[in-house]
Structure 1
């Protein structure tokens, strides 16, 4: 998945001079976008999941990539998004090759693909390789066509190296001055099988494996985590493995899995990890989540909330397996993994407002603005939560939605460390 993060250091670096150039480059590339109709027999089946002789509509949109963050520095490059349509003029597949340059990671080439052959079956691929440290290879599969659509299968496999990873210490008041850098090198998989019980309930059984190595990072000028901390103070700093099983109970009345505008969602999860089965330690995750969607004026306004509690119990739990807040899906005023402890409590409030519906390159998109507030804190245990430890992150988001599958978003939140901007695909929750 294509994720670009911009944060507060943008206003302290020469990258600001790129903005006027980027604006005109963006306009020029938009004008270069085009729509083509390709004979069906010349298009691989994965991009056209129908058998008629109707030509396949393909919309190509070239875009610049300009980003900067305190984690990664300046990134500049370009991508082209190819949107393949089915015979009902719905997007059937997305393919986005990309090339960019970053001082810390060199030249990165990547390819993102999303395929939607049917409403109940889809797949994603993300292939990325940098000349310095970073890479990312992911495959995700979703299939709910088994047993008369009562059985749902999800599988994600991955291998990546992230040389921009950060650790600030534990507890809610971990200081920015303790910032350290490292490479998070991982390989693993996540498998789940869900079975519908009645109309709104589902029982989910899951299996997760994760092998983590902690290596020197790619960002110069920030201390290496192992030079500042030891395994005694930070369990898992020398690497670890996790092999866990989980069970979840899910309740959902959502009108859509990817672009909901109405309904409720609740999930409770228990996930134990055992050394006897290959884990680094014996520990347990408990998690409860609730979401609600309340539309007005034919879903032009959708009020959304999420409440979430996570607790990790055990001894010598690896730091990346503890309860973590920060990033584009939790506290959007901070970078990923900013706060770590045994538990967290999180509340997200968002008002999604459809501004207009616009057709560009024969693709119809809903354009939304979404003011939001994120409120959350990590803590040793729920009974030790303190009001002074909660982070209050107000912000605003901008989204473009091509229903029923594609969501592009820009979210900007403000935290104690300054503003943070995240660009990506899919709703944050």
Structure 2
């Protein structure tokens, strides 16, 4: 038997030991602190008992990473209806295992274990591991000047109002400059490759009646980066307009690093202490019908804890869910987030997302924040954004032991970025809107389809889970 198979079976045994007969008599007496989180009667009636697996081929689609295929699977331990936790938790434990490959040559492996209300107590534990490589990351700059129209790295005097026009223009062959080939294309000049290995361990503790939680965690990462100067790339002959190939010119990311405008391109080890204060009254975390979620989250990185970078990231997020009195399950969902980075030499890659105990959020642009714009289209030290969705359920059905529900979700997204948090205001806002479709599989697994529209682009996404 291989080491992988042995360790896999050992992990499953550990999880089963954790959750089997895990609610002690003493814990049952203290379950009153989560009564406010009881599921709706309708959702509770449909919640499946026991242990089950949801797995599906990954046919995800993202305008940046391309079309993806792989396996996205979850093992749920729900317990029996007689378990006092059954009506108050989305599951006793969940093990997520995702493997995916994308047409952009990106690939990822994600393993995640989540145990809410461990043995009926106030503790929740999460362990996450990720190994990924993505050569399709986009970089347009690291200041609020990115709010302007798109510009060619080699010609900042020419701007483009749509991404399609910009994308075509940067492929047109041009004479090379100093350090470049005689003739080059800029097709890859806004792209870079990131390779990441990450391990994260978190624990949180419910306070009082269970609505408030405090969380702490530790994350260690190793990151490395590559730009694509001199590599063969797509090109367009400027005379015949025929498609061809040519060496790529300079990289915008490399240029900003060489000029001292950014740091972190050499990658390295990042050691992070995470803390958060959370208020949560959602009735069902994967797909709420009512309740609120609020968090103040912070990441601290310093040489004193073994990191090669010094920075402090603060993110505040609020979500609200309200069931409306029409349709079988119609929910108005909204989110507002604001974040900033402290530290004069914070690495560029920390500008790319906002950390949340619920999962990091790309900022600003992409399927998690501004769905009509490319991921990381707008980057600066500080930002705010908001999302609103109307989630309307159309139909439900049951196939064997599997339950499926189908719905639509028109949405509106907006946000902006600034070089200083004190300048955040309602000016220079970028917004997008669109229509989403949702498929709920056994309630806990949500398959999302979103089509976002902005003045710059029209983008389609397929993924697992709600945007928020």
TM bucket by the smaller chain?
0.7 to 0.9
CA 1:88 to 1:354, structure 2 compared with 1: closer, same or farther past 3 Å? closer
Mark the CA change 1:422 to 1:315 in structure 2 (over 3 Å): closer, same or farther.
same
Q: Which residue of 2 aligns with 1:215?
A: 226
Structure-2 residue corresponding to 1:302? 331
Cα 1:152–1:411 shift into 2, 3 Å? same
Say if 1:181 and 1:219, in contact at 8 Å, map to a contact too: no
SS of the aligned residue for 2:233 comes to: coil
Map 1:187-226 to 2 at 5 A.
187-199=197-209, 200-216=211-227, 220-221=233-234, 224-226=251-253
Q: Among residues 330, 334, 349, which one is paired with 2:388 in the alignment?
A: 349
Match of 1:12 in 2: none
User: Residues 219 and 280 of structure 1: is their aligned pair in 2 closer, same or farther, counting only changes over 3 Å?
Assistant: farther
Structure 2 residues without counterparts, runs of 5 or longer:
1-11, 17-45, 79-90, 154-188, 235-247, 354-362
Q: Of residues 117, 122, 130 in structure 1, which corresponds to 2:77? A: 117
Which residue of the partner structure matches residue 95 of structure 1? 55
Distance 1:89 1:197 in 2: 28
Instruction: Tell me how far 1:139 sits from its aligned partner.
Output: 0.7
Range moving further from structure 2, 240-249 or 158-167: 240-249
Deviation at 1:145, TM superposition (A): 4.9
Structure 1 residue 93: Cα displacement: 0.6
* Partner secondary structure for residue 339 of structure 1: coil
Larger radius of gyration: 2
Among 257, 263, 267, the residue aligned to 1:230: 257
Q: Relative to total residues, which structure has the larger strand share, 1 or 2?
A: 1
Residue 204 to residue 143, structure 1, CA distance change in 2 (3 Å): same
Residue 105 of structure 1, CA deviation: 9.8
Task: Give, in whole Å, the separation in 2 of the partners of 1:342 and 1:368.
Answer: 37
CA–CA distance in 2 between the matches of 1:254 and 1:106? 33
357-366 or 272-281, larger mean C-alpha shift: 357-366
Matched ranges for 1:254-333 at <5 A: 254-297=282-325, 300-322=329-351, 324-333=363-372
Q: Report the CA distance shift for 1:333/1:148 in structure 2 as closer, same or farther (over 3 A).
A: same
- The superposition leaves residues 171-213 of structure 1 with CA deviations (integer Å, 9 ceiling, x where unpaired) of 3342433461111111111221011112211110111122211
The 2-side partners of 1:190 and 1:300 are apart by 35
- Cα RMSD between the aligned structures? 3.2
What is the match of residue 83 of structure 2?
none
Residue 108 of structure 1 deviates from its aligned partner by 7.9
TM-score (norm 2): 0.67
- Aligned-residue offset at 1:416: 3.3
Question: 2:396 & 2:105 partners in 1: Cα distance?
Answer: 42
Distance 2:440 2:221 in 1: 33
Could you tell me which residue of structure 1 aligns to residue 123 of structure 2? 151
Deviation of 1:270 (Å): 2.3
What's 2:443 paired with?
404
> Displacement of 1:271 after TM fit?
2.0
Distance in 1 (alpha carbons) for counterparts of 2:232 and 2:49: 45
Offset of residue 160 of structure 1 = 0.9
Is the Cα–Cα contact under 8 Å of residues 172 and 389 in structure 1 kept in the other structure? no
Aligned to 1:66: none
Moved more, 169-178 or 189-198: 169-178
